[in-house]
Amino acid sequence: MRRELRVIFLRFAILAPVIVALTAWFWPETFLSLPLQKPRFWLLIMVLYPVLSVWPQEVLYRAFLFARYRPLFRSDKGIITASALAFGFAHVIFLNWIAIAMTAIGGLLFARNYARHRSLRLTCLEHSLYGCLIFTVGLGRFFYTGAAWHH
């Protein structure tokens, strides 16, 4: 468990600055807007997002999908790919390619790790780290249904 935690935090320490830098570069007008403009709402998201969003998603797209559909695939690569694609596709509701692409890539990372350690807790931790970072840096607007449907 300690080794897996180290791997998760090391990967996050490498990928988080890349996400932060790309967000600041491509969307400077919304960079850090949520914590700066609505700190209480941001804090609420930081607390509730892992419980109300991450946990149900990981139960469905990792634990359930792996348990139910693993027999259909000859290798871990197949079930990992299916999990990532299903996770990405579920985000079409947000009506933008950024949400779909980011969740497919994240889904690949989370599914790969779930296949390796079969721990929903570890997968939820990693998903929460990236999700909270996304809302913090200003990418949350791509993952908010209200914004998608009111353009």
Contact 12, 126 (CB under 8 A): yes
**Where are the chain's structural domains?**
1-10+58-151
* DSSP one-letter string for 46-104: HHHHIIIIIHHHHIIIIIIHHHHHGGG-SSHHHHHHHHHHHHHHHGGGG-SHHHHHHHH
Q: Assign 144 a pLDDT band (cuts: 50, 70, 90).
A: confident
Neighbours of 120 (CB within 10 A): 14
Contacts of 71 (CB under 8 A, 6+ apart): none
Residue whose C-alpha is closest to residue 78's, from 124, 42, 28, 115:
115
Whether the pLDDT of residue 148 is over 70: the answer is: no
User: What are the tens digits of pLDDT across the range 76-96?
Assistant: 999 999 999 999 999 999 989
CA 57 – CA 75 distance, rounded (Å): 23
Task: Report pLDDT for 135.
Answer: 96
Residue whose C-alpha is closest to residue 102's, from 115, 112, 93, 91:
91
Whether the pLDDT of residue 151 is over 80: the answer is: no
User: What are the tens digits of pLDDT across the range 34-55?
Assistant: 999 999 999 999 999 999 999 9
* DSSP one-letter string for 92-148: GGG-SHHHHHHHHHHHHHHHHHHHHH--HHHHHHHHHHHHHHHHHHT-GGGG-HHHH
Whether the pLDDT of residue 116 is over 50: the answer is: yes
